[in-house]
Amino acid sequence: MVRINRTPDGVTNGERGRIDGPEWVRPPEVLTMVSNVETWFEHMELYF
């Protein structure tokens, strides 16, 4: 539950593309953060 708090306020899963733009525009640390959050969501979907 801690990692989900690292996403910017007001940004939900699926809205990031519209707000942040294409993947290649983002800084590497943002890409890493987003991939961690998406991985967390995938794991949560598997168990719930």
Amino acid found at 12: T
Report pLDDT digits (tens) over 19-48: 555 555 555 565 566 667 777 777 677 766
**Mean pLDDT (whole number) for 4-16:** 52
Task: Please tell me the predicted confidence (pLDDT) of residue 37.
Answer: 73
Task: Please tell me the predicted confidence (pLDDT) of residue 39.
Answer: 77
Decide if 12 contacts 34 (C-beta within 8 A).
no
Task: Please tell me the predicted confidence (pLDDT) of residue 44.
Answer: 72
pTM: 0.23
Note the Cα 41 to chain centre separation in Å. 9
Q: What are phi and psi of 16, to 5 degrees?
A: -55, -40
Question: Which one, of 13, 1, 6, 4, lies nearest residue 29 by Cα?
Answer: 6
Task: Please tell me the predicted confidence (pLDDT) of residue 3.
Answer: 47
What tokens appear for 39 in the block? 């991985």
